[in-house]
Amino acid sequence: MASIAIAAPHPAGVAAARRVVAEGGGVVDAALAAAAALTVAYPHQCSLGGDLVALFRDGARGTVRAIVSAGAAAAATDPAPLRAAGDRMPAGGPHTVTVPGAVAGWAELARLGARLPLARALAPAAALAEEGVAVSEGLARAIRHRLDVVRADPGLAALLLDPAGEPLPAGATLRQPALAATLAELAADWRHFYTGPTARRLVTGLRARGSLLDLADFAAHRAENTDPLSATRDGVTWWVAPPPSQGAALLAVLERGSGDPLTAARRAELSRDALLGDPRAGGIDLDGLLLREERDLAALPAGPKPAGDTVAVTAVDDEGGAVTLIQSVFQTFGSGIADPATGVVLHNRGSAFSLDPAHPGALRPGARPPHTLCPALATGPGRVVALGCQGGRAQAWILSQVADALLDAPDPAALLARPRWVIGSRDLDRPRPTLVLEPGTPEADRLTAVAGGLGLDVAEVPGPHDEAGHVQTARLRTGVLDAASDPRADGTAAVLTRGVS
């Protein structure tokens, strides 16, 4: 019987995948079921109201496609009032909501390789929303961390606070009847999210808050099915999504960072901040993003440095079919808006726009913002490795610390548990660019010495930390499937057999 390895940052994702695989679903169905369940169990990190970037490998053909379902700003967008209010986009609120792309991304993945109707993949999530799911440790931490945002929004407060107005603790039951109804509506026809009753409810709620998004903006959204970027080293090809995804930054670090990964990561970070934008809105300097040509970055507009949050799902089958997808509300609880009529938490992906009109990621009508989502695949002799992570802007260097080792590591779970480093500033709640080290990070002394020359402060967190990312991986190596979920998350991994519950 065919088998599928899968990893997700919450057990509900793997449980949903198990159900659809038992019904005859394949690798795409498993990934979609997990992704949908996570929008119920992990509303601080992903939602129907967020975006999706994914890679799909067709096991029979050996081809890889990128699905970029990143929503655009309203056609009526006018940057002038926001520029008058400050030099950067607001961190949250209605003006940071772009058209959510996740649902269209699911539908495109299903079209490419699902064995079952999309409704079957959504069914476990709808049941989970109706019956309730236990609040995880990760969600409980997020509610406490963003308690001011939760209390300020009626939708989030009704969802995440108890009758006394206190945060739901870990283990409490989270029920979401409005979201269950929305999922049932989308199971009947996913297009309702963009042209039907779901879209009308969302637009009504957004416009009441001052958003410029309208029904035409929702109806215009399409998931982009496109060629991925790739690079081959030592017989292994690495695949990532193209701009507006930051996938090029991961290829740059993998290609340039063998001797000095921190310097490569810092160069990739600065290049991404200055050069990443939407190819549909103007030319993108891909050679600069890949660090294949030097650029005078000091002469270019600096990009925004928003925070970000996300989930990854990875799945590989025994024929070499693979899905790695990342979906997100961007910052924890996104825009800070949960629409009561639909139960949908809306992302703040628009906060990643630049207000500098000369920047390639500038806020423009109908443009997509620079995107942190960075799923990756590796293919080589006897190997298919899917990986992705939570980690906002740091995803590229988080993944780079485990990518090569995952090709042959005998114990992927132990590898993901190994201490890591990240760099960032506002996205890591740091006032200045900082190298953040978990205790026991390999070569910490050398990294600290290099950091000074790169203009980075150095800080150590007391233990394994969310800032270091939640990596998920699934692999096929010489005919053997396995998977692992990062211990920093609440997740799990499993190998499932089609037709077996």
| Catalytic residue positions, numbered | 310
Q: Is the dihedral of CA 237, 66, 247, 400 positive or negative?
A: negative
Q: Which of 261, 206, 293 is nearest to 442 (CA)?
A: 261
Instruction: With beta carbons less than 8 A apart as the criterion, state whether 398 and 421 touch.
Output: no
Contact 471, 399 (CB under 8 A): yes
If DSSP codes are grouped into helix, strand and coil, which group holds residue 350?
helix
For residue 403, the tally of other CB atoms under 10 A from its CB is 21
Spatial CB neighbours of 327, under 8 Å, sequence gap ≥ 6: 35, 38, 39, 46, 50, 51, 52, 102, 105, 310, 311, 373
In angstroms, what is the C-alpha Rg of the chain?
21
Handedness of CA 238, 241, 436, 461 (dihedral sign): negative
CB 50 within 8 A of CB 334: yes
Q: Kindly report each contact of residues 118-121 with a partner whose C-beta sits within 8 Å and lies 24 or more positions away, as own/partner.
A: 118/32, 118/187, 118/190, 119/187, 119/188, 120/20, 120/23, 120/25, 120/29, 120/33, 121/16, 121/20, 121/25, 121/29, 121/32, 121/33, 121/36
From the list 216, 197, 226, the residue with the least C-alpha distance to 366 is: 216
